[in-house]
Structure 1
Amino acid sequence: MEILKKVYALYPTRGLKCDGCSLGENYYGDGYRCFRSGIFFHKECANSSLEICNLYHPQHSLKIKVCAKNNNVQQECKLCRINLPKMYYYCSICDFAIDLICVKKEVKKEIGDSKIHEHLLSLVPEMVSFTCHLCQVLDDRFPFVCNLCDLSFHQDCAESISEINYSCHPQHPLKRFTRVPNRTGENCCLCGNKLHNVFYHCSVCNFSVDINCVKNPPPFSLLQPKAHEHPIILMPQRSFVCNACGMDDDPNPYVCPQCNFMIHRNCVDKPQVIKINHHDHRIYYNHYLDSDDWECGVCQKEIKWTCGAYSCPKCQDFAVHLRCATKFGIWDGIELEGISETNIELKSYEVVEEGLIKHSSHQNHVLKLNEESDADVEAIVCEACVYPVFCGPFYSCTECDNYILHQKCAHLPKKKIDSFYKMDITLFPCDKMETILGLCEVCQHFFQGFRYITKDDITLDMRCGSISEPFFHESHPHHPLYIDFTGNKTCKACGDEATFILSCQECGYFLDIKCPFLPNKVKHKYDKNHFLFLCYGKNPSDQYLCEICEEELNSEKWFYRCDECCITFHIKCTLGDLISLKQIVDAEPIKLEVIRNIHMTSSSNKP
């Protein structure tokens, strides 16, 4: 765990595929995610030993190695030949690497009861070339050899027997094969992986399974399945439509003969009650919906009402496919059945009377709602977001001349669950930290003003902390945006690659998490008499120059424009790097003065 913290800034959460072991695509597990890169590690992988001894490399110990997100690992695991993930064990002397899965596998030094050879077979823990005596495949690592006969074998070949009775195919025995027969698929009928050196096959039923499925077969029957009231049994190689999810992509159903009920293995343990980011309420699994035309609230495609789906008891027209609802990034992986529903969001203000409030950040005085600002050249600054206020609505203190809050900033909740880390966060005003600099764990920008903080002192600026899903932005009015943890997407606004992004699942529209909060209206010293307005891209054939740096401007990206003067500006040239700072910054042991190059209004986001 400590070595991971040197590379990644981790927080506890749940996730799917682990970047340490590459497992977990189909189930949620407890672990840690990096604030900045979005990389996820299972708890067990994160707590792996720093140094181990392994019988496949007895000459030296192996030390754990962690790679940064932007460092692609070019090596493969010496055992399974699969590309190494971000975390693996390594010997720098021999350039020997092994992944976290293979390092946990039992290592046999000898095979004394082989059914294919009468003598003792011993492991050669070296990368040596050999031809397996059973399957005749040339290989280059870790053979089991007979020192008397000078014969070599793969471990799977040496441990295999000529015929087995298999629980998932009880009607006929399976025979060992080392070559795929004609008119037979090249993949395992259960897991779908490609068949390798040795596998088992039933010629009568054209049924094949690889060694992994032979060693770890799925249960043939489930006596008390979560998804059905009767026992269900596995019946491979049957075309069917899953009663739970409505899909027909896996020909290995579990079946209840008396009900004609069929279900995928992955759907058997589906959660009953969940909360997804596409809806405000909890949704509940139903075995079927009312007879009607239903559209999925995530993918907007048809839902077969005769199959299972999630629906909201409070919103009679909202339903979601099972698979859409349980996707990573849509569902947080927490089953809510049996957990009472609570609303953590608390207001940060109380209404005194119409147009007057008392705010938790300024408790001694009353704030008055103003519809318009009389500021002209020098804008008044919001204490929460540190953006100037050129127009209303905003609140101003009835007794203090300089305490101003945008209306939407004043209405931010005092407590909430943040949309990124699913943690309880509390809003802290700037009273006690007026000049202290903060670093937001989401957008990685320095800021001043209001901030959200967790009980573990994780800090988010008020913009990132206020994001909720679905997120609406006027640059993309037709569809909502959702937080995307997959990263490495190009932002439509700035053109940068981003880790934390807001994405449209309909049309592949991506925004870096910092861009939706760009002010839509600013003033700049290069055009003091007019406002500059944010443009969300123009015709790519149009050519523009930035008035400040005099370099060409990409018209497909966002930029600022003065409609009166018909001049354009790069966003960075207009805003600079310090848009979230006040005039004084406390950077102990000195204090710094910030000279703004712009005056701004509030941004156009609508969470």
Structure 2
Amino acid sequence: MEELKNYGHQHPLLMLNEEQLIGNGNGVVDCSRCGEKVSAPCFSCVERCGSYLHKTCAEAPLELNHPFHRHHPLLLLHNPPYTSDTRCVCDFCDETCEKFIYHCSCGLDFHIKCALFSFNIAERNLKELEHVALEDPSFSSKNDGGNLGKCFVCWEPLAMYTYFSLDCGFNLHKKCAELPPKMGHVCHRKHPLLLQFNSERLSCKICQVTRRGGFVYGCSPCKFAIHIECASLFPDIEDKSHQHQFTLFWRQIPNICDACGTKGHHVAYTCGTCSIMVHKKCISLPRIIQHAWHNHRVFHKYFIHNEYFESLNCIWCHEVVDTEHGSYFCADCNVIFHVNCALKEKDWYCIVSQEDEDDKSLDIPVNSITEVLERNDAGEATVIEYFKHKHYLMLSDNIREHGDKCCDGCLLLISTKFYHCSRCDFFLHKSCAELPKMRLIPNHICRGTQFSGLKSIILTSDCMFRCDACWCVSNGFSYKCNECGSHVCLRCITLQYAVKIPGHKHRLFFYYGYEGQCSACGTDFDGAFGCKDCNFHLCPNCVMRPTRVRHKCDKHLLALTYDKINDYAKYHYCDICEEKRDPKHWFYYCETCDTSAHVGCILGKYPFVKLGSTYNEGDHPHPLIFVKKFPYYPECVKCGGPCEDLSLECAEIGCTYIAHWKC
């Protein structure tokens, strides 16, 4: 045993070989600096306090001048220099750093082993890797199921490449271990490019992608960086969605990418036959996607030639799309997306596979009307069979006679044209009756896992449910996922990206990333319907508020009201709870009786449950119907409390069963 200095430890340290380490009774211990398993040669505390150090960790310099980071030295710290709630992540391996890290004032952090390993690569100290055999990738892939991970230098897959696999957990291509530290490049002729850490998180000038880990060839004075794999000259690339090959064009000229319509400042790929220029990343754009904001598939188009319009507004950001450049377009509806808007949120779209490209059924949903028995002169279906009702339904627009009835689909009061049954109390808006029996949605999150692809949801009306979008309890119609049982009500599934509401003169467009307060209810929210011309924003719940409702406080219908009815402060009270109302917020109002009330007081907890409808899911032997008892409140047979809100009452004559809906 050789006694040496303590390397910052409070006691002297002894060097152990493998035999001494095993004989010391500590065959499996962790290094006190890097936290990895200790292997000989290593150092052990003479006082047997449990401290062990790898030889390389013990001899690690307190200050490291790293060739891949020439501006500042890396300082060895005992703990990360951050607050306790800030996670420190190694900029080489992307794993958490907990203690003994190399830190730079510019924000770079490295494990000891990562800093020293990359230092050896930078200094061309390949002798440090000689203890590792050069492995055959075909042999390794068999033992690893073909998943060999990624190279720690270029972050490209290791499969099909010769690579080093170190005991300390690093993998890299042989070609990456032998990268030149400096290179000239036609894309940046002013200065040589140096192999370095991307400490400034610069995006690659070739592919425009920003990565956290890995090395780049960069020029710090010019803020210029290129990924390792992008630095080499590429052969022509064939894109399956384009009939010709793309050729790399190295000239640094400003351009507009013909695939996505955004600026490009450096190299691009060109198709001489079609005279188009595209980013490298845009060569592999999906040709067809199914987006959650549109019922049909949308196709990627380089140019749209249409004599009826020069440009359209993107339905995601609502800004003009230049149709002379790439976009995603539905020719049936003239719906258009900017490319980057369509692909911005991965949960909102899925790629249509080549096998499904010619499947026209994806664009033609099956109507819920089973059969049309009669039509009028305008071609409208006036008598129909509906797949969720046993009797014929007739078309009507007689709001005066049926205006206090609710649509059994969306549970809103009947408005415009509707179908009704002459034999029972069943009503459907014409728009609700024409909804498809099945809808396809992209990337449905089912049972805690994201489904990548199209998912079918089925129109149903056979149960009480809570909508997964607005969280309202309802017994109307919904679209249901048969796999996980989740429901979406008709109000949410038919909500458009652009709406026109009474009380505001402009159309409102949905902005996914907007954060602020709702102009109608004052609550904070993420994602809003906003007016492009006014400072006016609504949360989705307020957009879907019923415009007319019936309530026991008034014999007339109450209207959702947007303006101040009376400016005197003493009139700003709710006639139900007798509390003050905020005059800036919406309320329900009866002009005949001068009744005004909070939205919440009028709608209550269960605004979308149809009273008088049958409930078939309980254990009571007779049919139960939904009621709200007034003016007296009978006792609940379950809990004994008064039935003041939504309750279930037995429809059988002579049976006095009544219970809270919750019970």
Q: 1 or 2 for the larger relative contact order (CA 8 Å, sep ≥6)?
A: 1
Tell me what 1:573 maps to: 601
- Find the residue that maps to 2:557 and give its secondary structure: strand
Residues 1:426 and 2:458 aligned together: yes
| Superposition map of 1:270-285 within 5 A | 270-274=285-289, 282-285=297-300
Q: 2:283 aligns with which of 268, 286, 296?
A: 268
Q: Is the 8 A contact 1:344 1:416 kept in 2?
A: yes
Instruction: Output the CA distance in 1 between the equivalents of 2:245 and 2:469.
Output: 47
| Unpaired runs of at least 5, structure 1 | 1-54, 61-72, 97-101, 123-158, 600-607
- C-alpha change, 1:326 and 1:263, in structure 2 (3 Å) is same
Instruction: Output the CA distance in 2 between the equivalents of 1:442 and 1:542.
Output: 38
| 1:296-350: CA deviation from partner (whole Å, max 9, x where unpaired) | 33166565565444555557x7765444454448972424663322212322343
Residues 1:595 and 2:595 aligned together: no
- Find the residue that maps to 1:553 and give its secondary structure: coil
Tell me what 1:214 maps to: 228
Instruction: Output the CA distance in 1 between the equivalents of 2:406 and 2:318.
Output: 42
| Superposition map of 1:231-250 within 5 A | 231-233=246-248, 235=250, 237-250=252-265
| 1:93-114: CA deviation from partner (whole Å, max 9, x where unpaired) | x999xxxxx99xx969857955
Instruction: Output the CA distance in 2 between the equivalents of 1:451 and 1:223.
Output: 47
Instruction: Output the CA distance in 1 between the equivalents of 2:461 and 2:546.
Output: 21
- Find the residue that maps to 1:296 and give its secondary structure: strand
Tell me what 1:534 maps to: 560
- C-alpha change, 1:312 and 1:594, in structure 2 (3 Å) is closer
Residues 1:163 and 2:181 aligned together: yes
Instruction: Output the CA distance in 1 between the equivalents of 2:629 and 2:443.
Output: 30
Residues 1:345 and 2:380 aligned together: no
1:121 deviates by 7.6
Q: 1:416 aligns with which of 433, 436, 439?
A: 439
Q: Is the 8 A contact 1:186 1:195 kept in 2?
A: no
Q: 1:79 aligns with which of 82, 90, 93?
A: 90
1:534 deviates by 0.6
Q: Is the 8 A contact 1:397 1:403 kept in 2?
A: yes
Alignment coverage as a number of residue pairs: 469
| Superposition map of 1:139-538 within 5 A | 163-165=181-183, 174=192, 176=194, 189=205, 191=208, 200-201=217-218, 208-209=224-225, 213-214=227-228, 217=231, 220-225=234-239, 229-233=244-248, 235=250, 237-255=252-270, 261-274=276-289, 282-290=297-305, 294-298=310-314, 306-310=324-328, 313-314=331-332, 321-328=338-345, 332-335=349-352, 338-342=357-361, 343-354=364-375, 355-367=382-394, 369=396, 371-374=398-401, 379-387=404-412, 393-400=417-424, 402-417=425-440, 421=444, 423-430=455-462, 433=463, 437-456=464-483, 457-467=485-495, 471-474=499-502, 478-479=506-507, 481-482=509-510, 484=512, 486=513, 490-498=517-525, 510-528=537-555, 530-536=556-562
1:168 deviates by 7.0
- C-alpha change, 1:224 and 1:509, in structure 2 (3 Å) is farther
1:572 deviates by 0.1
| 1:223-259: CA deviation from partner (whole Å, max 9, x where unpaired) | 3245572442152743223233343254342346898
Q: Is the 8 A contact 2:508 2:529 kept in 1?
A: no
Amino acid at match of 1:450: F
Q: 1:558 aligns with which of 564, 586, 607?
A: 586
Q: 1:116 aligns with which of 102, 120, 123?
A: 123
Amino acid at match of 1:296: L
Q: Is the 8 A contact 1:110 1:120 kept in 2?
A: no
- Find the residue that maps to 2:584 and give its secondary structure: coil
Amino acid at match of 2:490: M
Tell me what 1:547 maps to: 575
- C-alpha change, 1:339 and 1:328, in structure 2 (3 Å) is farther
Instruction: Output the CA distance in 2 between the equivalents of 1:221 and 1:263.
Output: 15
- Find the residue that maps to 2:238 and give its secondary structure: coil
| Unpaired runs of at least 5, structure 2 | 1-32, 39-83, 102-108, 130-176, 376-381, 445-453, 632-644, 646-663
Instruction: Output the CA distance in 2 between the equivalents of 1:95 and 1:594.
Output: 68
Q: Is the 8 A contact 1:346 1:416 kept in 2?
A: no
Amino acid at match of 2:351: I
1:160 deviates by 9.7
Most deviating of 585-594 and 557-566: 585-594
TM-score (norm 2): 0.55
Larger helix fraction of residues: 2
Larger radius of gyration between Structure 1 and Structure 2: 2
1:580 deviates by 1.6
Q: Is the 8 A contact 2:409 2:476 kept in 1?
A: yes
Q: Is the 8 A contact 2:291 2:350 kept in 1?
A: no
| 1:267-309: CA deviation from partner (whole Å, max 9, x where unpaired) | 2222334455676765544444449772133166565565444
1:577 deviates by 0.9
- C-alpha change, 1:540 and 1:399, in structure 2 (3 Å) is closer
Q: Is the 8 A contact 1:245 1:307 kept in 2?
A: yes
- C-alpha change, 1:240 and 1:387, in structure 2 (3 Å) is closer
Instruction: Output the CA distance in 2 between the equivalents of 1:556 and 1:256.
Output: 57
- C-alpha change, 1:249 and 1:495, in structure 2 (3 Å) is farther
TM-score (norm 1): 0.60
Q: Cα RMSD over matched residues?
A: 5.5
| Superposition map of 1:59-138 within 5 A | 74-80=85-91, 113-114=120-121, 116=123
Instruction: Output the CA distance in 1 between the equivalents of 2:290 and 2:591.
Output: 45
Instruction: Output the CA distance in 2 between the equivalents of 1:269 and 1:263.
Output: 10
Instruction: Output the CA distance in 1 between the equivalents of 2:225 and 2:408.
Output: 65
Instruction: Output the CA distance in 1 between the equivalents of 2:187 and 2:568.
Output: 66
Q: Is the 8 A contact 1:426 1:452 kept in 2?
A: yes
Tell me what 1:148 maps to: none
- C-alpha change, 1:446 and 1:318, in structure 2 (3 Å) is closer
Q: Is the 8 A contact 1:245 1:267 kept in 2?
A: yes
Amino acid at match of 2:371: E
1:79 deviates by 1.8
- Find the residue that maps to 2:277 and give its secondary structure: strand
- C-alpha change, 1:548 and 1:285, in structure 2 (3 Å) is same
- C-alpha change, 1:195 and 1:548, in structure 2 (3 Å) is closer
| 1:68-124: CA deviation from partner (whole Å, max 9, x where unpaired) | xxxxx9532432499x9xxx9899xx999xxxxx99xx96985795553879889xx
Instruction: Output the CA distance in 1 between the equivalents of 2:87 and 2:567.
Output: 45
1:265 deviates by 2.2
- Find the residue that maps to 2:371 and give its secondary structure: strand
